[in-house]
Amino acid sequence: MDFSVLISEFPTLTVDGIALGFIYVLIALGYTMVYGVLRLINFANSEVFMIGTFASILIATQLFGHTIESEPLTGFKLVYTMLAMLLGAMIISGLVSVLVEIVAYRRLRAVTTNRLTSLISAIGVSIFLAEGVRILTSSAPMGAPRLLDKITLVTIFGADIRIDILLVIVFAIILLVCLDIFVNKTRLGKGIRAVSMDYDTAKLMGININKVISTTFLVGGIGTGAAAFFYVTVYEVTVFRIGFELGIAAFTAAVLGGIGNIRGAFAGGLALGLIEMYSSAIFGTQWKSITAFVILVLVLLFRPNGIFGESLQQARV
Amino acid sequence: MTFNLRDYGANIWARANKWQRYLMALVFIVAAFSLPLLENTFFNTPNTPFVSVLFYPIGLYTLMALGLNVVVGKSGLLDLGYVAFYAVGAYTAGLLGASLKLNTWEVMPIGIALAMLSGLILGAAVLRLKGDYLAIVTLGFGEIIRITALNSPAIGASMGITDIANPPTTFGFKFDLDNPESYYWTILIIIIITIMAIRILSIRRPGRAWEAIRQDEDVAELMGVNIYKYKLWAFVFGAAVGGAAGVLFASESMFISPNIFKLEVSIFILAFVVFGGMGNIWGVILGAVLLSYIPERIRFLSDARMLIFGLVLIIMMNLRPDGLLPRKKREKIKSDKKDSK
């Protein structure tokens, strides 16, 4: 145990932790929204993230012809390349997520009430996607070209706020506000809240359940895709097994806050990002994921439904 | 009327008298013991010796699937960290075999006891949680065990433990690389003991309590079932089976490292249980045997075999949502009500 690093690097760790936390929040949406509506662990969401990271890099390398050696871009060119990567990752992840719902969940929902069946079917999809990408990439990690020159904008209390970290935080907040408006103000959002409150009654009230569920998967996938883009921008590398590692962390974040609850995912994701950064400073990076799980166990022992409890209908970001 | 293999089998069993039942069990056991004879036939596995495939993965995974079935299938507790008990058993064998010079059979009870103890500790802490919260906490427990092993130089860290002793020659059976069938027969004996234990428990108080808890926890509690106690029982039983599998695995492979005990193993075993048919012993065995055998049989597809494994899971779950051999439906009225969803 070594607290000196924690104390000397505290501001930097906090900034990094918040950035990582926002990535977790966005992935956690894919778990928590689906859980809110279907009461199912959306196991394949981790692979939706993985595909988003690859989509984002491939758009930069294949569509715009950048390579690892490319010089960072500036001006208008930078803006539209980054936007294309972000939107591309969001759209592709969203579509994969909807496809996962159709393949893994839709038919099963009609014929069985056994939730484990859907879990195994989702695990099947998850293995299929991860293995497919592993074969296509020959298990090799894929580096992302550094399009954004990572300059330090300001230094607050000794913490360097890099432009990519600021970008993650700003865009994540914008996306979460959009999500809040969508869930609370639109007709489809009302449908999602109704289904998560009471599935049967919502159906009786004439809500098109399949449409609502597809939308939930789409929105969750879009959030996960955005997280994939941010991850690629900050960490600049991806590999076929990335989904598994980040997925477990994001799921932990969702449970920490209270799964099914968007506000909970927000708090849980940020808390987990910070905890992971601080604990790796104290105990060393190899203990990082253990601390997260230990905290999770402790929280669940005292608050068995997560910090905020589970309910999507009172969702406020 | 669709053909239902489980009902068909159950009918034959129900109509048979005592002696016919003994005969059937005997034929079945003899057939299982003579499986190594299938080497070099169509069933042979390319690249890996068939008889050692019978032990690992088929035999070991079948045993663990049976243990997990008590937890997930019979009592309805979703445990995603089952590999932890397997790891506890294996590490006990590795450490005690080296330091105390105990042979496998002497380590076995200790390994099982330690696995049960860890099941008891984990269960006591987390079994008040419900459903998916239990799943993530058990998952976390599995990872905690693995990462702790990975970061503890005292137990070999990432290098693991090497040169674990094979079991000694017992009743004239040699246990070494040239005699893989001894391992297979050993695991078969343990599997048979486990099946008998599960069958005995199932028709007695713990089995009824598990069934009640699985169907409706709250009603079970109102009816006076001590749900906490019986959940703990199920957990500890599953842990014991996992520990036994771990001890045997360590002494066969002579080498263990934390990376063997990944989360994937827990998920695979859960997949075997659900694929075969939760709660039904024969379904679980069929699921485990098929799903651990197929990847070995199609090893010539080398790279694509896990891809196909994933595909098989998706297709089979869609075709047979309750598994290959589902359990007997005892909750007709309730399931009808839920089907209206």
Q: Is the pLDDT of residue A260 over 60?
A: yes
CB contact (8 A) between residue A128 and residue B307: yes
The shortest C-alpha distance from A14 to chain B (Å) reads 24
- The pLDDT of residue A315: 41
What single letter denotes the amino acid at residue A247?
A: G
- The pLDDT of residue A161: 83
Q: Which is more confident, A231 or B1?
A: A231
Strands A152-156 and A159-162: antiparallel
A279-305 pLDDT, tens digit per residue, is 888 888 888 778 878 888 888 878 777
The strand pairing partners of A28, in sequence order, are none
CB contact (8 A) between residue B144 and residue A293: yes
| C-alpha torsion B244→B245→B246→B251, nearest 10 | 90
- Gap between the Cα atoms of B109 and B160, Å rounded: 22
The dihedral region occupied by A138, where left means phi > 0, alpha psi between -120 and 50, and beta the remainder, is left
Q: Which of A199-208, A272-281, B149-158, B321-330 has the lowest mean pLDDT?
A: B321-330
User: Could you tell me which chain A residue has the CA closest to the CA of B316?
Assistant: A121
- The pLDDT of residue A151: 78
Alpha helix locations (H) across A39-162? 45-58, 75-100, 107-111, 115-137
- The pLDDT of residue A158: 75
Is B313 part of the contact surface with chain A (CB cutoff 8 Å)?
A: yes
Is B137 part of the contact surface with chain A (CB cutoff 8 Å)?
A: yes
Contact residues on chain B for A119, CB-CB shorter than 8 A: 270, 274
Q: Is the pLDDT of residue B193 over 90?
A: yes
Q: For A252, which of B136, B306, B317 is closest by C-beta distance?
A: B136
- The pLDDT of residue B341: 38
- When pLDDT is cut at 50, 70 and 90, the band that residue B338 belongs to is very low
Query: Quick check: B103 and B168 in contact, CB under 8 A?
Result: yes
A140-174 pLDDT, tens digit per residue, is 999 888 887 777 777 777 777 888 888 899 999 99
Distance of CA A31 to the CA centre of its chain: 8
Mean pLDDT, chain B, rounded, equals 83
Distance of CA A148 to the CA centre of its chain: 22
The shortest C-alpha distance from A129 to chain B (Å) reads 8
Q: Is the pLDDT of residue B28 over 70?
A: yes
CA-derived radius of gyration, chain B? 20
Cβ neighbours of residue A196 under 8 Å, at least 6 residues apart?
A36, A37, A260, A311, A312, A313
- DSSP state, A310? S
Is B152 part of the contact surface with chain A (CB cutoff 8 Å)?
A: no
- When pLDDT is cut at 50, 70 and 90, the band that residue B2 belongs to is low
Contact residues on chain A for B306, CB-CB shorter than 8 A: 127, 131
> To probe the interface with B, which of A39, A293, A299 has the most B CB atoms within 10 Å?
A293
CB contact (8 A) between residue B143 and residue A293: yes
Q: Which CATH number fits domain A3-302: 1.10.3470, 1.10.287, 1.10.600, 1.20.1440?
A: 1.10.3470
Query: Quick check: A163 and A151 in contact, CB under 8 A?
Result: yes
Q: Which of A42-56, A223-237, B91-105, B115-129 has the lowest mean pLDDT?
A: B91-105
Please state the ipTM of this predicted complex: 0.81
- Gap between the Cα atoms of B238 and B235, Å rounded: 5
Query: Quick check: A44 and A304 in contact, CB under 8 A?
Result: no
- The pLDDT of residue A152: 78
> To probe the interface with A, which of B318, B329, B332, B340 has the most A CB atoms within 10 Å?
B318
Query: Quick check: A266 and A25 in contact, CB under 8 A?
Result: yes
- The pLDDT of residue B3: 62
Q: Which of B31-35, B42-46, B132-136, B299-303 has the lowest mean pLDDT?
A: B299-303
Q: Which is more confident, B140 or B246?
A: B246
Please compute the mean of the pLDDT values over residues A4-14 and round it to a whole number.
Answer: 83
- When pLDDT is cut at 50, 70 and 90, the band that residue A310 belongs to is low
- Gap between the Cα atoms of A209 and A202, Å rounded: 8
Burial classification of residue A91, based on how many CB atoms lie within 10 Å of its CB (0-12 exposed, 13-18 middle, 19 or more buried) = middle
Q: Percent of chain A having pLDDT more than 70?
A: 97
> To probe the interface with B, which of A117, A134, A275, A310 has the most B CB atoms within 10 Å?
A117
- DSSP state, B16? S
> To probe the interface with B, which of A35, A114, A125 has the most B CB atoms within 10 Å?
A114
At residue A14, the 3 state secondary structure works out as: helix
Mean pLDDT, chain A, rounded, equals 86
Q: Is the pLDDT of residue A212 over 50?
A: yes
Q: Is the pLDDT of residue A219 over 80?
A: yes
Query: Quick check: B146 and B261 in contact, CB under 8 A?
Result: yes
The strand pairing partners of B170, in sequence order, are B173
- Cβ within 8 Å of A, B 12-71: none
CB contact (8 A) between residue A132 and residue B307: yes
Please compute the mean of the pLDDT values over residues B27-42 and round it to a whole number.
Answer: 80
Q: Is the pLDDT of residue B41 over 80?
A: no
- The pLDDT of residue B333: 44
- When pLDDT is cut at 50, 70 and 90, the band that residue A311 belongs to is low
